Amino acid sequence: METKLVHAGVAATSTELLVVFAVNTADKKVPDAKAVIELVHSDPALKTATARAFDSGEFTAMSCETLLLHNPEGLAAKRLLIVGLAAPGRKKATVHELRKAAGTAVRFAKPRRIREATLVFPTSADLDARQTGRALAEGAVLGNFDSDTYKSDRVDRTLTTVNILAGNGMDSALIEAGVQEGIIVADAQNFARSLVNEPGNVLTPTVLGRRAAEMAKTAGLKAEVYGAEKLHELKMRSFWGVSQGSAEPPALIVLTYEPENYKPGGPVMGLVGKGITFDTGGISIKPADGMEKMKYDMAGGAAMLGAMQAIAALKPNVKVICVVCAAENMPSGTAQKPGDIQTAMSGKTIEVMNTDAEGRMVLADGITYAKNLGATHLIDAATLTGAVVVALGLINAGVFSNDDETYAQFASGLEVSGERFWRLPVEEDYRDHIKSSIADIMNTGDGRWGGAINAAMFLKEFAEDTPWVHLDIAGVAWIDKAKPWMASGPTGVAVRSILEWARSYGA
Ligand code: BES
Ligand code: ZN
Ligand code: ZN
Q: What is the pLDDT of residue 440?
A: 98
Is 356 close to ligand 1, i.e. is its CB under 6 Å away?
yes
pLDDT at position 34 is: 58
156 vs 324 pLDDT, higher one = 324
Q: In a 3-state reduction of DSSP, which class is residue 43?
A: coil
* Cα–Cα distance list, 337 to 24, 42, 248, 402, 461 (Å): 58, 67, 18, 31, 22
How many angstroms separate the alpha carbon of residue 443 from the centre of ligand 2?
Answer: 11
Confidence of residue 124 (pLDDT cuts 50, 70, 90): confident
| Residue-averaged pLDDT of the chain | 96
Residue 500's Cβ-side half-sphere holds a number of Cα atoms within 13 Å equal to 18
Say what the pLDDT of residue 413 is: 98
How far is the C-alpha of 255 from the C-alpha of 310, rounded, in Å?
13
Reply yes or no on whether 211 is catalytic. no
Least confident range from 85-89, 135-139, 159-163: namely: 85-89
Instruction: Work out the average pLDDT over 3-8.
Output: 94
pLDDT value at 31 more than 70 = no
Nearest-angstrom CA–CA distance, 498 and 311: 10
What pLDDT, on a 0 to 100 scale, did the predictor assign at position 125? 74
Please choose from 363, 384, 446, 449 the residue to mutate so as to test ligand 1's pocket, defined by most ligand atoms within 8 A of CB: 384
User: Residue whose CA is closest, atom 16 of ligand 1?
Assistant: 357
| Nearest one of 345, 352, 363 to 438, comparing CA atoms | 352
Distance, in Å, from the CA atom of 130 to the CA atom of 147, rounded to the nearest integer, reads 30
Q: The pTM is what?
A: 0.97
Cite the beta strand spans of 304-440 per DSSP E. 319-329, 341-343, 349-351, 377-382, 397-401, 421-423
Give yes or no for residue 450 CB within 6 A of ligand 1. no
Percent of the chain with pLDDT strictly greater than 70: 97
286 is known as an active-site residue? yes
The whole-number pLDDT of residue 35 equals 58
pLDDT at 29: 60
The pLDDT value given to residue 126: 84
| CA atoms of 70 and 79, how far apart (whole Å) | 5
Please choose, from the candidates 312, 305, 320, the residue with its C-alpha nearest in 3D space to the C-alpha of residue 377.
320
